[in-house]
Each structure stands twice: as C-alpha cells, then as structure tokens.
Chains A and B, each alone.
Chain A
C-alpha cells in the first residue's frame, strides 16, 4: 500500500507512541503465516470496528497480503490521503507487485462503496490459472480486479491486519479483526493459519494485539 508516510517526520517525539524510524515510517499490526509453497489463494473475514484518518499526509489501512515480499497481491480498505492529494474514506482498494516488468500497481474505483464501520467483509484472492489472480471484496463480495502475469511461486507468506503511518496522537482511529484467515494449496484444499500463524507486528506499532490460533483470528486495537 502506497502513500505518504510523512507523519513520522513531523511528529512530536517522546510523549506519544510513534511509527517513525522503522519500516519507512509504516507500522504493522498484523498476523502472518510463513512458508506456504505455491498456494492458489487466500481468504479472510475482515471486521472493521472503526477506521479513520484525518485529512493529512498519512493513511491507515486494514488488509491482507499474499506474496513473497517481492511479488504479491493485497486487498483491503484504507482511509487517508494518497500521493496525489485525494482523500479516501474507508475506500476499498487492491494492489499488486508483479514479476517481468509488471511492477507495482494500486487500484481504486468510485463504484466500490465505502466500507461501513461495524461490518464484517469477506475478502479473497484466488488463482484462476494462466498466471491470473482474481481479487474479491467490497461490500457485496464483488470482483475488484485481476492481477495478471503473476505466476504461483514457492516461499509465499500471507498476512492480515492493519498498516498505518501515523502516530497515536494524530487522530488515527483503528480497531479491527481478521477471522478465519486461510490459504488454498495447489490441490485446491483450504487450510487455516491455525497454530502456525503468529503475531508478526512491527516493533514500532503501538496497537494492542492478539493472535488466536484456535480460530485463526487476529485482533488489533488502536485509538477509536
């Protein structure tokens, strides 16, 4: 997820928890499952209790990722200002990084209704063959787009949670939950993250978090 990440530069130091000086001023409150070989999809139930960021140079997104750190597909909801000065209020988006010169791309759509606080959404990224991955989500589980020229690969990781670029005194509001995060293997069988999943939040994040392997759920709680 692209965007400014300038908040750390201007943030007062000391009195407030900070997102600065790590991960390019990005904080991650998120769970992870490593070492998934050639998976063909992931899905997650994203519950947004509150998600807001003021109209300044930062953002806060609740989302999931499927990839290997270099190439990936992501799908979620974001609030904040993008690089071009446009404000997004709980807007659905998806993005990918593709090999062979496809590089990084991020997509929005005015036709995708904004997410509503207090609501749970099913989001899914599915391999459909021919190096294409379909991305589903939004308020009525619709097709958001297709990541093309994205071959399955080994050593993949799936993550779900919150990414934000703002300090605790910024006006950020974010409480949410990912439930039932699972992946689909190459034989198209689904597997929950289960006890293999873990809290992989960045050290600079200041949210309260908990990963529960019994139901593959991850909760995060920031200001709200």
Chain B
C-alpha cells in the first residue's frame, strides 16, 4: 500500500466517494471543454461527421420539397427544444420542451409550404426554414417557416456547423 493510498483509506467512506465523484465530474467537464466528446450531440457538444452528413441529406430533402433545392446556407446546432422554439420559431411552446435535446437546423432560401394551409388558405412562404430533430432518433419535432431570422445567433447555443447546400 503506497502512502497516498493509505491516506485515502483512512478517510471516511463518504468523503472518498465524494472525492471520486468530484474527480469524475471534473474529467467529464474537461473533455467537454476541450471538445473531445464525439457524443451524438448534447447542447454545446461536438456533432459527429456521420451525423452531420445525415442532417445534410435530410435538410436538402426538406429544402427541395419546400421549393428551393439550393438554399444559400444551412446551419445546425445542438440545443434544447424550448430554446429552438423560442428563437427560431418565435415563440410557440410545447410542454416538456426544455428537457428535450434537439438538433436545430436553420436554412436560408426561398421556401413555400405548398398545401400547408387549411382549405382555401394561402400557402406559407418564407426565407428562413427551421426544423428540430430529436437528437437520438432524428425524428422531426418541429418545422417552421418565417421571413424573420432566428431572434438570436445560433452560436449562442454552442458550436454551429454549416452543412453542405448542394451549390
């Protein structure tokens, strides 16, 4: 038994557990800060290249089916759904959204949601299309179309990735 181990061994169990937990949290925090995580994308985390590729394919499909197959740009950031709704979709609320992690994709183009209106209604048009996808399943959570950009820059939520636009 080394001296240092012996000293730890003499500490109360509760204190040892606390020190171990603190060390683990510090290690995780350091890896997050250094951007070393390749997790699928919690807020502020790195988004893996394979995920970025899939998001790019999905975004281009969405753009094409919304009338602009070559949007000017497509950005994505990992954040929570409540923030995405408040920022990019200008205020609608959904219960539990604060605890839901999503990829928020925003693209700039000339989009029309053909047939999205009720009977006799006008089709929505807009320059900014936003979508949130569940971070684990990539299921669609929200789709928005507006002439206004997000209220705050996406970089407020973490690292922003520019996706391939097809141009």
Contact = CB atoms under 8 A, between A and B. Distances in A.
Interface of A: 1-6, 23-26, 28, 30, 32, 57, 65, 67, 69-70, 72, 74, 82-86, 88, 95-98, 101-111, 142-149, 157, 159, 163, 165, 200, 202
Contacts of B104: none
B93 A145 contact: yes
A2 B126 CA distance: 14
A148 B124 contact: no
22 contacts: A2-B116, A24-B115, A26-B115, A65-B118, A70-B122, A82-B143, A84-B59, A84-B61, A84-B143, A85-B61, A86-B140, A96-B92, A101-B148, A102-B92, A102-B146, A104-B113, A104-B116, A105-B92, A105-B142, A107-B141, A147-B92, A165-B115
A107 B142 contact: yes
B138 interface: yes
B142 to A, nearest CB: 5
A25 B137 CA distance: 30
Given A82-B140, A83-B62, A147-B92, A103 B115 contact: no
Interface in B80-134: 89-96, 113-124, 126, 131, 133-134
Contact of A104 (B131, B133, B145): B145
A103 B142 CA distance: 13
Contacts, number: 142
B58 interface: yes
Given A97-B124, A105-B92, A3 B146 contact: no
B2 interface: no
Interface in B40-92: 58-59, 61-62, 65-66, 89-92
B126 A104 contact: yes
A91 B116 CA distance: 17
Residue from A3, A30, A98, A107 having most chain B Cβ neighbours under 10 A: A107
A2 B66 CA distance: 9
A105 B89 contact: yes
Contact of A200 (B119, B123, B133, B134): B119
A106 B142 contact: yes
Nearest to A25: B115
Nearest to A4: B65
B66 A23 contact: no
Given A4-B65, A69-B118, A84 B92 contact: no
B65 A103 contact: no
Contacts of A163: 119
A113 B158 CA distance: 31
Contact of B115 (A3, A110, A143): A3
Contacts of B143: 2, 82-84, 105-106
Given A84-B58, A102-B90, A145-B94, A108 B139 contact: yes
Contact of A1 (B91, B116, B126, B133): B116
B122 A105 contact: no
B145 A103 contact: yes
Nearest to B66: A83
A149 B91 contact: yes
Contacts of B62: 83-84
